[in-house]
Amino acid sequence: MTQIIKGGNLPVPGQVWRVAVVRRAAGDGVPEVDASALLLDAVGKVRGDGDLVFYNQLAHASGAVRHVGQVRDEERRVADWLEIDTARVEPDVQRIAITASCDEGSFGQVPGLLVRTISAGTGEQLALYEVDDATTETAFVLGEFYRRDGTWKFRAVGQGYDSGLVGLAEDFGIEGSGPAAAPGPESLAVEGVTELPAPGPEPVAVEGVTKLPAPEVLAAASSSPAALFGRDFPEYVREGEGNQDVTVDVPLPPGILLIDTERQGDGYFCVRRIDEEGEPGPGHALANTTLTDFEGRAALWFDGKGPLYLRVDASNRRWKITLRPVGAVAELGRGAKGRGADVLLHTGPAAELAAALRPVGDHAYFEVRGYAPDSRDCHDYKSLANEAGKRPKSLRRLPTGPLLVAVGSSEGDWTLEVRRPKEQGAGGFWRRG
């Protein structure tokens, strides 16, 4: 059981966690809320202003705690995401407090306030605490991670303050009227509407989100080029049997999402997007196969607006759908092999991609697509393989990464091999890329 009440605690396994501070979005009497974290010593104090991670200081100098951005949906739910890497926590840091503050209002006006911790590696929920007793408070210590006998635990604290972030921070040893903004890229100055900007090289003016870091800050904060394609979010899992329409009504960020599909047994299996009325939605089929005991992965473009609707055709068989952030993608490296659909990440220089399929039948169609970070949708791609036959194969140019490599139609076993491009003329062997 990972849901706990105020005062409760439980062990938190793993090395890297992602922590979401979730609540109702600002507007209609609901104040704006900011999430932050404090790194505390054995006596419960910071060692300096740098131990506060918040909207003006997005990462701790050690790299142990980062504010990685904000996600919202059209159901007016908002999640601020923090990431904690325990391997980077300095020895004299004994606790990490997760806090929230609001301006021009109190937490009694903020419905749905909770703090949720998931594993960064698997997406598994590790801890959940829902605040149900807020009244006049303008700041909260929602919970804290603390060391105990060589491991980490999480405690649901639920302690309120009437003095906002400044008062809360001063109580933990931050000096002055408030921490100064950290040097580096500036936060966006924005004013009142709904969507997050897609990652890009320049800050984008958006409406409805305050103190949101510029897109390039979010991209730079991540250790993987996959962050250029989409943002983090908690893993979503749905299981069922036979034909069914699925409504994914949890907050999902705009950008590319990974959808893993599984079906037990044989027969036809298809997963595709539909709209709210049940009509066919945008994009290619997310699964479309007759392979036995199918397991596959596809890329899905999502605008972040409203629920995601899916239709499953599974011929009375058991199935499972898992939505994951694009950060879960595996790297292509020098090559890969698999069966059915998959998505991989190419991060190397321009090369040649040798692709081959061994179909389960006498004839098959084989397609591989490449998507750049600025791809607008699933139709905006570079063809890396597009063959049909008894043993389809191709050799095509692979652009410089980062590039998402999506293996689509592949009813059989496939291989991808990244080869060094052949040079024309003398001296090609020694030429630098």
Tell whether pTM > 0.75.
no
Share of the chain above pLDDT 90, in %: 49
**Domain range annotation of the chain:** 3-223, 236-322, 330-419
**Residue 315 pLDDT:** 85
Q: Which of 268, 286, 246 is nearest to 408 (CA)?
A: 286
pLDDT greater at residue 16 or residue 69: 16
CATH T-level assignment (fold) for domain 236-322: Jelly Rolls (2.60.120)
Report the C-alpha gap between 270 and 313 in whole angstroms.
5
Asked whether the predicted pLDDT for residue 110 surpasses 60, the reply is yes
Report the C-alpha gap between 208 and 191 in whole angstroms.
6
Q: Which of 139, 198, 131, 195 is nearest to 163 (CA)?
A: 139
Select from 2.60.60.30, 3.30.60.50, 3.30.1330.10, 3.40.462.40 the CATH code of 3-223: 2.60.60.30
Q: How confident is the model at residue 120 (pLDDT cuts 50, 70, 90)?
A: confident
Average pLDDT of the segment spanning 403-414: 90
Q: How confident is the model at residue 75 (pLDDT cuts 50, 70, 90)?
A: confident
Computed over every residue of the chain, the mean pLDDT equals: 82
| Matching fold, domains 3-223 and 330-419 | no
| Per-residue b or e along 149-166, where b marks 16 or more CB atoms closer than 10 Å to that residue's CB | eeebebbbbbbbbeebbb
Average pLDDT of the segment spanning 218-240: 72
Q: DSSP 3-state assignment of 350?
A: coil
Which CATH architecture fits 330-419?
Answer: Sandwich (2.60)
Asked whether the predicted pLDDT for residue 286 surpasses 90, the reply is yes
Query: What is the DSSP pairing of strand 9-11 with strand 33-40?
Result: unpaired
